[in-house]
Amino acid sequence: MIFQLPKSSFHSFWIRIGAGPWVGWGSTGINYVSTLSALLGRRSAHFEFGSGVLVTYWSQEKKLKPIINERYIAGFGGFRFQKPTGNFVFRTGLGWPDGIYLSLGYCF
């Protein structure tokens, strides 16, 4: 979390950094993603959205390049349930490159 605005509709702003493998049509590689995201809502239910940068390492070519047509964008939008003082997190939504996602987590 970068910062929090507890009395605003924009509850908090976050930075997300991640990596993960991908496989498709005879190609393989690793996606590296970084997004800036925001949570809307002041109670337990939030709308979560974000956008950022996606870079892919292509194993066969041994170089970094975008997945599709020179596009380096990443983004997502969805629902997040987390009580203001709670540790349990439930998320679901739609994003690129994730597709449809569903996650359960523990915040500490």
How high is the pLDDT of residue 94?
97
Pairing relation of β-strands 27-40 and 10-24? antiparallel
pLDDT band at 42 (very low <50, low <70, confident <90, very high): confident
Whole-prediction pTM value? 0.78
Burial class (CB in 10 A: 0-12, 13-18, 19+), 35: buried
Q: Express each pLDDT in 74-103 by its tens digit.
A: 999 999 998 878 889 999 999 988 889 999
Q: Express each pLDDT in 54-64 by its tens digit.
A: 998 888 888 88
| Alpha carbon distance, N-terminus to C-terminus of the chain | 12
Considering its fold, how many domains does the chain have in total? Answer: 1
How high is the pLDDT of residue 78?
97
Report which of 91, 92, 56, 94 is spatially closest to residue 75, judged by C-alpha positions.
Answer: 94
Domain extent, residue 75, equals 3-106
User: Cα–Cα distance between 26 and 53 in angstroms, integer?
Assistant: 24
